[in-house]
Structure 1
Amino acid sequence: MRIRSPNHMRTTPLAIVLSSGLLVACATEPEAPAEDAIPSTIPAAETPSPASFPDVIVAERGGFIPEGVEYDRTNGRILTGSLSEGSILEIHPDGRVSTVIADPDLVSSVGIEVDEVRDRLLVANSDRAAFDGSSAGQAELAVYDLTSGERIALVDLAAAVTNPPDDAAYFANDVAVADDGTVYVTDTMLNAVYQVTRDYEASLLHRFDDQAGGPNGIEVHPAGYLLVARGEELWKIPVRDPSSAAAVTLPAAIPGGDGIVWSAGRLAIVSNSDSRVVALTSTDDWSTAEVAGVATFETPATTAAVIGDDVYVVHPTFEGDDPPSVSRVTFQ
């Protein structure tokens, strides 16, 4: 994600009382998913887009800075996080904005992931103040019932880091889920990826030891590895051997790599600095990749969601109170 530091006042959440949920302790060793839990196919495209979703949806208000976006097929709605308010919000086709989850423990909700199989919403909970140095930040995974909004768990990811440096800073950025329910979360400030088991025990799966861009968007590949956007690079991290993580050879750098999403068997990467979405494919198990399509947009965007056969990107407004928007992109 791209972060700037405007001062937005936190608005009062509209409504929903959450159960206290479960605050979970962390383990220190990664637990790989069982062999038979690795999915056999790349997730298919979403069901057809509802006719009520226009090409561009402009929110009725600004100030909430939606960095992450997801389409909830179960309930037929577009969900976003909020860097400034923390709440999980729904942006309706007519631009109305309503609160879905208002949890006082959510400081900056960044990446979000719908786990429809288990009726869960997974939220990377951070503190954007980490980017201006006024806070060491935080890295948490918040888990909610997708339909009711009740909190299931709140996992302290940073607690899984043994012997952190004195100047350690944390920022949980994006989240992905495997078919067996294992969750993976990137930490841009710590330059790391966490793993969270189905019992909500966290571990540090991998920490990059170079000075390249911090990990950002993340997806799970059915062959048992992660694909992670880092600056202008894409990295492959085998879950069972994270020490063998390596950069995917790309035909050209993709500056500002932010959110990534599977769409019709292709990996779409949002470039927040080049104002485009680059769709990639691979014929060698993601040692290398080729460009399969490019979609451009005018207003800076961060992440994407698949709605039916379409890819929509979210355009947050980092400065000022202009309303954010969500728009459909077309690949060429």
Structure 2
Amino acid sequence: MSIRYSLLTVAGAFLLTACESEMPETPAPEASPAADAAPAEAEPAAAEQAASAEMPARIVAERGGFVPEGVEYDQANGRFLTGSIAEGTVFEIHADGSMTAAVSDPELMASVGIEVDEPRDRLLVANSGAFGQGQGQAKLGVFSLTTGERIAMVDLAATLGDVPEDAAFFANDVTVADDGTVYATDTRMNVIYQVDGDYAASVMHRFEPMEGLALNGLVHHSDGYLLVASLGNGAIYKVPVDDPSAASEVTLPEPMAGADGLVWAADGHLVVVSNSSGMVTALQSDDGWASAGIAAVAPYEGQATTGASAGGDIYIVHPFFNDPDALPIIERVTFQ
């Protein structure tokens, strides 16, 4: 379902301004190359690495206007998928830039973060309204990865119960645990929702209001916790699945300004895509993500939002929020 391009300017303005506040630097924690590994399934097979090597370093979409905030690499089918804030449709972006609708559903208002769940043949979609306009929405779309058919559309915001009449919602990103439980962030409510195997939703954790907090990207670690980025203050939070009240801020050498998408790299590093600094940062930890150090950085030009792990590489997406006529780009980054 299309929305007016003028709304995209509002969304882009938020992304550009939400991360302007600075925080004092803290000493960098010691980190070793033998960092805490990402979940075992993040390790690419040799065939996947070979396929990654054959992919172009840069893919330019054949048209603009759809504004892809989220990107994923479907390794089972060897294809890039993006969401669309402007149209809702999830697209397959081919190597030559041509586009095919992978998921088209009338209830997809704005597909933001997306997650491929290959073991269960599912594509998970954070389904939102236009950021900054009205009350928005927070829903989870679940679709067949193979056919694109809808499996479920879950109203996440409904689980909050009694909220103010003017409450606003924005489902932003989504991840899946080893057991199939799905977790999603709501940037405007600063909530993490969870959805079980029967598609029953509940509130996993609601952060206490604090200045600059704006929950965004998240990943699941197989040791039983989530890592969640805050766009507003550049922090990353560790949230134990079995005891969310024990959520804590990961000690970082510096705030991750404009922290947007999070993705596990094949080597176990946590990759943070900044939408304001022109930098992708690989973090590593040797203490179970109580703290983390910077392992490598990859500069880029323009503005990017999220990343995808494709074989041994990280690709980022450039959505061009403020220029609906620009052609979105999926680009491989090089770490230094």
The TM-score range, normalised by the shorter chain, is 0.7 to 0.9
Task: State whether residues 42 and 221 of structure 1, in contact with CA within 8 Å, keep that contact through their aligned partners in structure 2.
Answer: no
**1:103 to partner: Cα distance:** 0.5
Three-state SS of the structure 2 residue aligned to 1:138 is strand
| Per-residue Cα deviation, 1:127-148 (whole angstroms, up to 9, x for no partner) | 01x41xx310000000001001
Partners of 2:61 and 2:153 lie apart in 1 by 29
**1:155 to partner: Cα distance:** 0.3
Three-state SS of the structure 2 residue aligned to 1:139 is strand
Partners of 1:6 and 1:318 lie apart in 2 by 10
Question: In the alignment, which residue of structure 2 is the partner of 1:225?
Answer: 225
The answer to whether the aligner puts 1:61 opposite 2:63 as a matched pair is yes
Q: Which of 112, 115, 118 is equivalent to 1:113? A: 115
Three-state SS of the structure 2 residue aligned to 1:149 is coil
Task: Give % identity.
Answer: 54
The answer to whether the aligner puts 1:164 opposite 2:163 as a matched pair is yes
Question: In the alignment, which residue of structure 2 is the partner of 1:125?
Answer: 127
Three-state SS of the structure 2 residue aligned to 1:117 is helix
Question: In the alignment, which residue of structure 1 is the partner of 2:28?
Answer: none
The answer to whether the aligner puts 1:212 opposite 2:212 as a matched pair is yes
Question: In the alignment, which residue of structure 2 is the partner of 1:179?
Answer: 178
TM-score (norm 1): 0.86
Q: Which of 100, 103, 120 is equivalent to 1:101? A: 103
Between structures 1 and 2, the one with greater helix share: 2
Partners of 1:228 and 1:253 lie apart in 2 by 13
**1:160 to partner: Cα distance:** 0.4
**Which portions of structure 1, spanning 4 or more consecutive aligned residues, are displaced by more than 4 angstroms?**
none
| Per-residue Cα deviation, 1:203-249 (whole angstroms, up to 9, x for no partner) | 01111112332110000011111000013100000111111111100
Partners of 2:135 and 2:314 lie apart in 1 by 34
Tell me the amino acid that sits aligned with residue 202 of structure 2. S
The answer to whether the aligner puts 1:314 opposite 2:313 as a matched pair is no
The answer to whether the aligner puts 1:287 opposite 2:290 as a matched pair is yes
Tell me the amino acid that sits aligned with residue 234 of structure 1. I
Tell me the amino acid that sits aligned with residue 329 of structure 1. V
Task: Name which of structure 1's ranges 119-128 and 313-322 shifts more when overlaid on structure 2.
Answer: 313-322
Against the structure 1 CA distance between its residues 212 and 45, is the aligned structure 2 distance closer, same or farther, given a 3 Å change threshold? farther
**1:40 to partner: Cα distance:** 6.6
TM-score (norm 2): 0.85
Task: State whether residues 52 and 313 of structure 2, in contact with CA within 8 Å, keep that contact through their aligned partners in structure 1.
Answer: no
Which consecutive unaligned segments of at least 5 residues does structure 2 have?
Answer: 9-37
User: Pairwise CA RMSD of aligned residues?
Assistant: 1.6
